Amino acid sequence: MLKKLFFTLLSLSICLSIYSKETPPRQKIDVTGLTLGGKNLKISVDELEKNLPLVKTTIFDPYNKNEKTTFEGFYFYDFVKKYAKPEVKTVYVKAIDGYSIETPIETMKAEKMILAIKDQQGYLAVNRMGPTRVIYPIEKMIDKDLLLKIGLHWVWQIKSLEFRK
């Protein structure tokens, strides 16, 4: 009886460890325009994690009731350097809901914008503004005036990126 209970608990433990592993979202980002290889790309969060150095930032998320949130992702500028031709000056960012904005590369670099893939709850699924979203790493509370300035580029649920001159 004790042996049977041991093997049942061991099996349950193995199953829980297998199914509790966090996995990246399956959605891929379409990357077009002046890509480094000249071809359209479909890039997964998993691929991004393998190819770019991770960074963390903690902010008061203005789109989540100013809750203090820690995000993990990549500098947007590093993403562009990795996948775009050197002559690219802007990235046209488009969200799942159709919202779009053209973001200058210099702004990405100067503001240290982050392409976030995780928060403290784990990977950003679509129902939590994922699979990727743009974050400004600002340590103070973001007031309405500042949000009007930076909020345009603060895109979530990113569907596609187009590299432009």
Q: How far apart are CA 101 and CA 92, in angstroms?
A: 6
Which among 74, 77, 98 has a CA at the least distance from the CA of 89? 77
The model's pLDDT over 112-145, given as tens digits with 9 standing for 90+, comes to 999 999 999 999 988 889 899 999 988 788 888 8
Type and span of the H or E element at 28: strand 28-33
Domains of the chain by start residue, with CATH: 24-164 (3.90.420.10)
Cβ atoms within 10 Å of 83's Cβ, excluding its own: 22
Q: How far apart are CA 116 and CA 135, in angstroms?
A: 7
**Residue 13, pLDDT score:** 42
Which among 66, 82, 58, 32 has a CA at the least distance from the CA of 135? 58
**Residue 16, pLDDT score:** 36
Q: Which residues of the chain are modeled with pLDDT < 50?
A: 2, 5-20
Answer whether the bond into residue 104 is a cis peptide, omega within 30°: no
**Residue 4, pLDDT score:** 52
Which among 72, 59, 68, 56 has a CA at the least distance from the CA of 24? 72
Pairing of strands 90-95, 100-104: antiparallel
What is the model's pTM? Answer: 0.81
**Residue 25, pLDDT score:** 67
